[in-house]
């Protein structure tokens, strides 16, 4: 009977396969762990059976349990047993289990070598395949070494299925056994041209991974990949190849240039086929540097459809190489900050860092502050906070024009709940207050407010991090106490009993700075005839300090007791009516200067001083000086800055440091290096206790509102507007020089001695923003023309603007002709004048409609347009030389001779006698704006004239003849979008109308039948544009078709405009 039961249970046990196990677990939701442990016991029983089927079943179940987090390494040997089964079914189970739970330290792996070798050479391709798959997961250096040859043989297997697996696994083998790379490489290279696409893709994959680690070695394969790229149709392979080129181009710059064309073709090809696929190409393509410019417009398009995230990713790649080009997409990126997706927001934040300029800093930070308020989740908020500070403080606060604003931002940030970055804010406050002298008054006022409202910061236990800012606040108020409006009140705030709840190092700073404040207060009160005020202050100190004397923190205790005794002594003197303020102030005298972290190294070693020699017998314990915890505040005092000998080698230093730290940690009497202020204070001689009267200090309870940074943004805006309005060019020039001078100072590295002096003055009110002509709206862009007059002497330059203007008006009259013509391949030139006369020689910005520009695409190169400019000298002075320059923008670039920098102008190759004109051709890539610089060598005066070139959409059209049958075919193809427009009240004859369209918009007539005509043109990007123009009476209707809807819309708009003007 008992036997029967046992037998029955064994039977059931055999029956329980993976599905039963899963079902069982699902049925035992309450006691899952218990159920599984009984299952494991059963599995252990099964593994003891001789039947391989039972074992395989058990191993299969173990694989499942492994996924649930159970350790199954104890069954490793059984797994090997199952792997070695001759049946594919079991073998597969065994290899799967092995791939899931074997790793390098599994010791049974070495038993598998022969088994795997046998499987690799099995006649059954799936045995081999399964072995390769398994091996790829648990290959060890030993296995790699032993099996490398076998796998290499498999790379030339007849079955592509095996070949591709063998190729792929070679990467793992290389990783574990690098010696195999050399002999295997030729074969791997061969596989790049394997007839089977799977094998080819595997080989590309492996080489890409290898090249990621060491691209230099794979440069020689570039031509091969180049061929593959142009021939392959497998997207996966293409992506990998482009990624590979991304790694190679930095090493071989010529490659980048070569790649532009095939990549552009690729993008066009894929774009037309499937938009979603082409994005990875772009992202990959962007990585191949040097042609980011033209890519940007695609990237921008990416925002419109599918994946913002990838667009941002690509932009951050571009930002590294072409920061300017991304800057104009600021709005788009700021929009992304509103995205609800955190991944996208974080990416956008990254981008912002590179985009700030003096002009937009406030705006960006304001926006970020809004997000800080809205943000939920501390991680993201903290990220925002650090970004704000990063953005503002980058390159020595280069972009901050108004430090008052920055301080207010910092103060606003302290209101954040639960941030971890109090310390960061504190160090920023300190840094700014110390280095920007002019800001101190403001900073001190703000800090005093902070101290006054300290309860807001410390009220919540969760806000621990933020109370770090009180450290900075206390220090700033103490150190620059002479700027305080109401030092008594601040002193009172610093000595509140609540302070005792702050962390020790902050209390220490409070105590120390209370003493400094006390000195200031004393000074201000001593002048008065009434001495009671001064005595009241001393009494306040004496009343409050004992609280700190009892502090558990040694630093606080020591400082408090020192200062307490000092104050008591002072009080005694006060009662004798002794003037003591001067002496108390002297305790804290001395200017504190910021010191670069490495400045100490620059202090020369005095002659005759051998730092290596021992002064005393070498002591058993290290007694090297403790390091400054924060290098910025190192006091400039020669005896303190004992120069550490720099020659001591790093190891020795590290050892000593370590030993010292150990020692300090073990020494209970050692005051832990705390951020003490660097003032030296003398200990007051002990004085006997003097009875004093307690006085109630009636400090007015004024809680001024915390500052709002927003108001600065507004102020700044107004200021800039004002600046802009009354700005005249002479001033501008002067400032430019000033600015460049300042810029130089910025450049000096952090180690230079110049850095020791404060690098930033805040004379913000007079500083002006650089005029960046960024008012780009689609095609219109501002430009500037500088004109130089030799009659004008240089001294006029410095005269007041009014006078200058008068003089100029007297002396010269100039007209500047802007004339554009297009030249196409046949050399035929059609000229159209757009003349603008300038009576006033001051820089004038001309608006687009004033001019009629005619710019046309260059037939030889689709990415270029040719602009011709007529320079006409309408004044009576001789223009000796002129310079023409374009500020390269996102989409446009002046074609410059090789070797010249991106900001160099082109010298206009002729001189202009009075009253003459000449034509000059300029080739511009996707032109947007132009600056012209005529300049006279004789005199140092030069002038600038602003003008705008209007690049209309049709400027990019090239009139191309088209036969009517081809035209018909095009229309029938059906991939053109249709749109139409009606013009009323056109009175001109039909042929005039057609001529006008041809002329202005570069169309050519395909066919004309009576009052109906078809016209054709194509853009430099090969978009077809077809028009059907019909007229009846005064109404003209134009039906247009184009494969690019935006282009179509714009062309129609322009045509409409042309006729609305006449």
Partner 1 sequence: MIKAILIFNNHGKPRLSKFYEHYNEDTEQQIIRETFHLVSKRDENVCNFLEGGMLIGGSDYKLIYRHYATLYFVFCVDSSESELGILDLIQVFVETLDKCFENVCELDLIFHVDKVHNILAEMVMGGMVLETNMNEIITQVDAQNKMEKSEVTSVLA
Select the residue interacting with partner 1 from 39, 63, 784, 1043 (CB under 8 A): 63
**Least spacing, CB of residue 311 vs partner 1, in Å:** 10
| DSSP line for 771-784 | ------BTTEEEEE
Please report how close the Cβ of residue 84 comes to partner 1 at its closest, in angstroms: 16
Q: How far is the CB of 67 from partner 1 (least distance, A)?
A: 5
Site for partner 1 in 170-199 (CB under 8 A): 171-172, 198
At its nearest, how many Å lie between partner 1 and the CB of residue 340?
Answer: 6
Which member of 45, 136, 774, 1037 binds partner 1 (CB under 8 A)?
136
Residues 6 or more apart whose Cβ sits within 8 Å of residue 361: 391, 392, 399, 400, 401
Three-state SS at 82: helix
Which residues in 299-318 contact partner 1 (CB under 8 A)?
307-310, 313
CA distance 567 to 87: 94
Q: Which helix (H) or strand (E) holds 1039?
A: strand 1035-1042
DSSP state of 628: P
* Residue 92 interacting with partner 1 (CB under 8 A): yes
Residues 210-249 that bind partner 1 (CB under 8 A): 212, 234-236, 239, 243
Q: Which stretch binds partner 1 (CB under 8 A): 200-208, 319-327, 561-569, 931-939?
A: 200-208
Window 675 to 734, contacts with partner 1 (CB under 8 A) = none
What values do phi and psi take at 661, rounded to 5? Answer: -60, -45
**Beta carbon nearer to partner 1, 169 or 365:** 169
Answer for which of 3, 5, 68, 701 binds partner 1 (CB under 8 A) is 68
Binding segment for partner 1 among 145-153, 274-282, 654-662, 1009-1017 (CB under 8 A)? 274-282
Nearer to partner 1, 336 or 563 (CB): 336
**Are 63 and 43 contacting, i.e. CB atoms less than 8 angstroms apart?**
no
d(CA 770, CA 739): 9
| Member of 1, 4, 5, 69 binding partner 1 (CB under 8 A) | 69
How many helices (H) and strands (E) in the chain?
40, 17
User: Considering only 253-261, 279-287, 409-417, 640-648, which stretch makes contact with partner 1 by CB under 8 A?
Assistant: 279-287
Q: Applying CB under 8 A, which of residues 192, 228, 279, 1052 lies at the interface with partner 1?
A: 279
Does position 673 interact with partner 1 (CB under 8 A)? The reply is no
DSSP class of residue 879?
Answer: B
Q: Determine the Cα angle at 563 with ends 558 and 564, to 5°.
A: 100
Q: Judged by CB under 8 A, does residue 96 bind partner 1?
A: yes
In the set 58, 346, 365, 392, which binds partner 1 (CB under 8 A)?
Answer: 346
Residues 888-917 within binding reach of partner 1 (CB under 8 A): none
Could you say which of 13, 45, 54, 70 contacts partner 1 (CB under 8 A)?
70
Residue 37 found at the interface with partner 1 (CB under 8 A) = no
What residues from 529 to 568 belong to the interface with partner 1 (CB under 8 A)? none
In SS3 terms, 241-295 reads as: HHHHHHHHCCCCHHHHHHHHHHHHHHHHHHHHHCHHHHHHHHHHHHHCCCCHHHH
The binding track of 592-631 with respect to partner 1, each residue x by CB under 8 A or -, is ----------------------------------------
Contacts 24+ apart (CB under 8 A), 656-664: 656/622, 656/624, 657/627, 659/622, 660/622, 660/624, 660/626, 663/621, 663/622, 664/626
Q: Name the residue nearer to partner 1 (CB basis): 283 or 994.
A: 283
Pick the closer one to partner 1 by CB: 198 or 250: 198
- Does the footprint of partner 1 cover residue 29 (CB under 8 A)? no
Phi, psi of 835 (to 5 degrees): -105, 135
Q: Which residues of 936-953 are buried (b: 16+ CB within 10 A; e: fewer)?
A: beebebbbbbbbbbbbbb
Give how far Cα 614 sits from Cα of 436, 611, 618, 658, Å: 42, 8, 7, 21
Q: Shortest CA distance to 947 belongs to which of 797, 841, 791, 1054?
A: 841
Based on CB atoms, which residue is closest to partner 1, 377 or 619? Answer: 377
Identify which of residues 281 and 480 has a Cβ nearer to partner 1 in the complex: 281
Residues of this chain, 280-299, that bind partner 1 according to CB under 8 A: 280, 283-284
Taking the C-alpha atoms of residue 540 and residue 537, their distance in angstroms, rounded to an integer, is 5
Least Å distance between CB 89 and partner 1?
5
Nearer to partner 1 (CB atom), residue 161 or residue 999: 161
Of the two residues 91 and 1018, which places its CB atom closer to partner 1 in the complex?
91
Smaller CB separation from partner 1, 239 or 438 = 239
Of the residues 133, 328, 335, 823, which one makes contact with partner 1 according to CB under 8 A: 133
- Closest approach of partner 1 to the CB of residue 51, in Å: 11
Q: Are strands 977-983 and 957-958 parallel, antiparallel or unpaired?
A: unpaired
Among positions 121, 153, 272, 343, the unique one binding partner 1 when judged by CB under 8 A = 343
Restricting to residues 1007-1046, which ones interact with partner 1 according to CB under 8 A?
A: none
Per CB under 8 A, which region of 338-346, 366-374, 411-419, 580-588 contacts partner 1? 338-346
Question: How far is it, in rounded angstroms, from Cα 684 to Cα 55?
Answer: 87
- What is d(CA 918, CA 868) in angstroms, rounded to the nearest whole number? 10
- Quick check: 67 binds partner 1 (CB under 8 A)? yes
Secondary structure of residue 402 in the 3-state scheme: coil
* Residue found under tokens 């410019």: 293
Smallest separation, CB 644 to partner 1 (Å): 35
Residue with smaller CB distance to partner 1, 194 or 768: 194
Residue from 80, 83, 116, 132 that binds partner 1 (CB under 8 A)?
132
Site stretch for partner 1 (CB under 8 A), options 62-70, 365-373, 746-754, 804-812: 62-70
Does 164 bind partner 1 (CB under 8 A)? Our answer is yes
* Rg, Å, the chain Cα set: 40
Strands 816-823 and 829-836: antiparallel
Q: Are 867 and 924 in contact (CB under 8 A)?
A: yes
From 7, 34, 48, 87, residue interacting with partner 1 (rule: CB under 8 A): 87
Task: Give dist(CA 988, CA 992) in Å, integer.
Answer: 6
Residues in the chain: 1062
If binding is defined by CB under 8 A, does position 666 make contact with partner 1? no
Name the packing angle between helices 403-413 and 378-397 (round to 10°): 160
**Nearer to partner 1 by C-beta: 240 or 463?**
240
Question: Among 283, 231, 225, which residue's Cα sits nearest to residue 258?
Answer: 225
DSSP code of 647?
A: T
Sole binder of partner 1 in the list 110, 251, 277, 609 (CB under 8 A): 277
Buried b (16+ CB within 10 A) or exposed e, 571-608: bbbbeeeeebbeebbebbeeebbbbbeebbeeeeeeee
Supply the DSSP symbol for 1045.
H
Instruction: Please state the closest distance from residue 32 (CB atom) to partner 1, in A.
Output: 11
Which one among 16, 55, 165, 191 touches partner 1, defined by CB under 8 A?
A: 165
10, 13, 18, 271: which one binds partner 1 (CB under 8 A): 18
Among 131, 169, 433, 762, binds partner 1 (CB under 8 A): 169
Contacting residue, 77, 126, 670, 963, with partner 1 by CB under 8 A: 126
Residue 377 or residue 618: which is nearer to partner 1 going by CB?
Answer: 377
CB of 1062 to partner 1, least distance (A): 50
Beta carbons within 10 angstroms of residue 501's beta carbon: 10
89 binds partner 1 (CB under 8 A): yes
């Amino acid at each position: 009977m008992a036997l029967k039961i046992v037998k029955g249970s064994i039977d059931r046990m055999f029956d329980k396969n993976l599905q039963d196990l899963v079902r069982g677990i699902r049925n035992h939701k309450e006691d899952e762990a218990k159920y599984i442990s009984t299952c494991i016991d059963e599995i252990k029983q099964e593994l003891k059976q001789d039947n391989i089927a039972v074992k395989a079943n058990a191993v299969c179940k173990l694989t499942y349990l492994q996924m649930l987090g159970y350790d199954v390494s104890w069954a490793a040997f059984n797994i090997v047993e199952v792997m070695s089964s001759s049946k594919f079914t079991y073998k597969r189970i065994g290899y799967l289990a092995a791939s899931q739970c074997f790793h390098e330290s599994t010791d049974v792996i070495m038993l598998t070598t022969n088994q795997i070798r046998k499987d690799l050479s099995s006649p059954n391709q799936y045995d081999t395949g399964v072995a390769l798959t398994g091996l790829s997961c648990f290959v060890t250096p030993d296995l790699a070494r032993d099996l490398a040859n076998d796998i290499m043989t498999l790379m030339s297997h007849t079955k592509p299925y095996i070949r591709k697996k063998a190729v792929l696994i070679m990467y793992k083998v290389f990783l574990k056994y690098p010696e195999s790379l050399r002999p295997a490489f030729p074969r791997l290279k061969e596989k790049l041209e394997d007839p089977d696409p799977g094998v080819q893709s595997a080989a590309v994959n492996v080489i890409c991974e290898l090249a990621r680690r060491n691209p230099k070695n794979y440069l020689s394969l570039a031509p091969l990949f180049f061929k593959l790229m142009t021939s392959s149709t497998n997207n996966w392979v293409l992506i990998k190849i482009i990624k590979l080129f991304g790694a190679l181009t930095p090493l071989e710059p010529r490659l980048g240039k070569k790649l532009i064309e095939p990549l552009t073709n690729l993008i066009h090809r894929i774009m037309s086929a499937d938009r979603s696929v082409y994005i990875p190409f772009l992202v990959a393509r962007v990585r191949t540097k040097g042609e980011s410019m033209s890519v940007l417009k695609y990237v921008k398009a990416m925002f419109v459809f599918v994946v913002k995230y990838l667009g941002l990713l690509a932009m951050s790649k571009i930002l590294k190489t072409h920061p300017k080009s991304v800057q104009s997409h600021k709005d788009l990126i700021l929009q992304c900050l509103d995205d609800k997706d955190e991944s996208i927001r974080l990416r956008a934040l990254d981008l912002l860092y590179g985009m700030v300029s003096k002009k937009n800093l406030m705006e960006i930070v304001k926006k970020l502050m809004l997000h800080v308020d809205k943000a939920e989740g501390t991680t993201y908020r903290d990220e925002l906070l650090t970004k704000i500070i990063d953005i503002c403080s980058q390159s020595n606060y280069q972009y901050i024009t108004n430090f008052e604003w920055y301080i207010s931002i910092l103060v606003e940030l302290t209101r954040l709940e639960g941030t971890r970055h109090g310390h960061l804010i504190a160090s920023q406050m300190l840094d700014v207050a110390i280095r920007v002298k002019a800001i101190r008054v403001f900073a001190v006022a703000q800090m005093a407010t902070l101290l006054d409202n300290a309860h807001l910061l410390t009220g919540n236990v969760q806000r621990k991090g933020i109370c770090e800012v009180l450290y900075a606040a206390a220090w700033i108020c103490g150190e620059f106490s002479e700027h305080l409006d109401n030092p008594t009140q601040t002193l009172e705030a610093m000595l509140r009993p609540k302070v005792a709840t702050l962390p020790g190092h902050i209390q220490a700073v409070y105590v120390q700075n209370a003493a400094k404040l006390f000195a200031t207060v004393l000074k201000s009160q001593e002048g008065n005839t009434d001495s009671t005020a001064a005595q009241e202050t001393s009494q306040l100190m004496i009343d409050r300090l004992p609280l700190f004397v009892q502090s558990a923190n040694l630093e606080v205790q020591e400082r408090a007791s020192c200062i307490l005794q000092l104050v008591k002594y002072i009080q005694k003197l006060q009662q004798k009516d002794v003037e003591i303020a001067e002496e108390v102030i002297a305790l804290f005298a001395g200017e504190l200067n910021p010191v670069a972290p490495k400045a100490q190294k620059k202090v020369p070693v005095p002659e005759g001083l051998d730092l290596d020699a021992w002064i005393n017998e070498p002591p058993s314990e290290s007694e090297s000086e403790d390091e400054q915890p924060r290098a910025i505040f190192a006091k400039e005092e020669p005896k303190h800055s004992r120069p550490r000998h720099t020659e001591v080698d790093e190891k020795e230093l590290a050892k000593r440091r370590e030993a010292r730290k150990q020692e300090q940690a073990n020494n209970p009497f050692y005051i832990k290096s705390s951020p003490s202020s660097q003032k030296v204070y003398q200990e007051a001689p002990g004085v006997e206790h003097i009875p004093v009267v307690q006085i109630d200090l009636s400090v007015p309870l004024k809680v001024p509102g915390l500052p709002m940074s927003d108001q600065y943004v507004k102020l700044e805006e107004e200021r800039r507007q004002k600046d802009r309005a009354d700005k005249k060019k002479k001033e501008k020039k002067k400032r430019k020089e000033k600015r460049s001078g300042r810029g130089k100072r910025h450049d000096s590295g952090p180690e230079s001695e110049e850095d020791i002096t404060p690098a930033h003055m805040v004379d913000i009110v007079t500083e002006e923003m650089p005029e960046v002509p960024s008012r780009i709206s689609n095609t219109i862009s501002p430009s500037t023309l500088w004109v130089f007059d030799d009659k004008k002497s240089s001294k006029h330059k410095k005269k007041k603007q009014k006078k200058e203007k008068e003089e100029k008006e007297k002396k010269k009259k100039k007209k500047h002709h802007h004339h554009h013509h297009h030249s196409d391949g046949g050399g035929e030139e059609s000229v159209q004048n757009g003349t603008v006369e300038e009576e006033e020689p001051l820089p004038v910005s001309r608006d687009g409609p004033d001019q009629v520009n005619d710019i046309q695409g260059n037939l030889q190169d689709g990415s270029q347009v040719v602009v011709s400019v007529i320079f006409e000298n309408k004044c009576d002075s001789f223009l000796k030389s002129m310079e023409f320059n374009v500020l390269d923008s996102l989409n446009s670039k002046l074609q410059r001779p090789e070797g010249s920098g991106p900001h160099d102008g082109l010298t206009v190759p002729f001189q202009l006698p009075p009253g003459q004109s000449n034509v000059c051709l300029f080739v511009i890539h996707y032109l947007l704006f132009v600056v012209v610089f005529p300049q006279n060598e004789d005199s140092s005066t030069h002038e600038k004239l602003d003008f705008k070139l209007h690049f209309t959409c049709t400027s990019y059209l090239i009139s191309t003849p088209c036969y009517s049958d081809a035209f018909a075919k095009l229309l029938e193809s059906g991939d053109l979008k249709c749109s139409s427009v009606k013009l009323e009240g056109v009175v001109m004859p039909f042929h005039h109308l057609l001529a006008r369209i041809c002329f202005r918009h570069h169309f050519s007539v395909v066919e004309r039948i009576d009052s109906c005509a078809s016209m054709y043109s194509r853009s430099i990007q090969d978009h077809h544009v077809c028009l059907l123009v019909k007229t009846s009476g005064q109404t003209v209707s134009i039906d247009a078709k184009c494969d690019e809807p935006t282009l179509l819309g714009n062309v129609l708009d322009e045509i409409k405009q042309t006729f609305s003007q006449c």
